[in-house]
Amino acid sequence: MIEETGKVLSIEDGFADVETIRTSSCTSCRARHGCGHHAIAQVSSANRMRMKAIDSLNVKVGQNVVVGIPEDTLLQASIWMYLIPLLGLVGGAIIPSIWGGESGIAVIFSIIGFAGGLWLARNKSQQEMNNLDYYPKILRIESLNDSRIPVVVTP
């Protein structure tokens, strides 16, 4: 389960709008100098994300909660959004070379294959829009107690 902490902004019929603040471990990563994610994180000032999460705990506005999504769900969505268009691009480039087509035709076919992959990903996204398996779920409510560590003095 991939988890993130956020704050409840609003509630409606079994769902809660949760705002999370994107945290990045880029500063401690060894590969940060050659990583595209680190470069984008440096440029982007938008580190807040708002999501609609399934609320089975009856949370209240202003509470800090932990939301989560299963790894396999994220993997499936990633395959549809990234791998399918990439396979269309590569497949479109390979098909003309099988029957001896020119490189210009391969470029056109690769663009058509990529667009077809994006179209398939878009259709899949629209089909799964109301599938609750793809929604994050509120896993637990963070403690409402003071977050300071109590000091205990023993005689």
Q: How many domains does the chain have?
A: 1
* Token representation of residue 139: 């896993």
Average pLDDT for 13-41: 68
Mean pLDDT, rounded, of the chain: 83
pLDDT at 44: 57
Can you tell me the mean pLDDT for 140-146? 71
Residue 118 lies in a domain: yes
3: pLDDT strictly greater than 80: yes
Averaged pLDDT for residues 150-155: 70
> Which residues are within 8 A (CB) of 71 and not within 5 positions of it... i.e. 6 or more apart?
1, 2
Residue 24, pLDDT > 60, answer no
β-strands 48-54, 15-21: how paired? antiparallel
- Residue 151 included in any domain: no
Residue 83 belongs to what domain range? 2-141
- pLDDT of res. 97: 84
User: Does the structure show a pLDDT above 80 at 31?
Assistant: no
Which pLDDT tens digit goes with each residue over 92-142?
Answer: 999 988 888 788 999 999 999 999 999 999 999 999 888 888 889 999 998
What is the SS3 assignment for 97?
A: helix
**Cβ(71)–Cβ(1) below 8 Å:** yes
pLDDT of residue 43: 59
Instruction: Examine the pLDDT at 149 and tell me if it is beyond 80.
Output: no
Residue 149 forms part of a structural domain:
no
Q: Establish if 154 belongs to a structural domain.
A: no
pTM for this one?
0.64
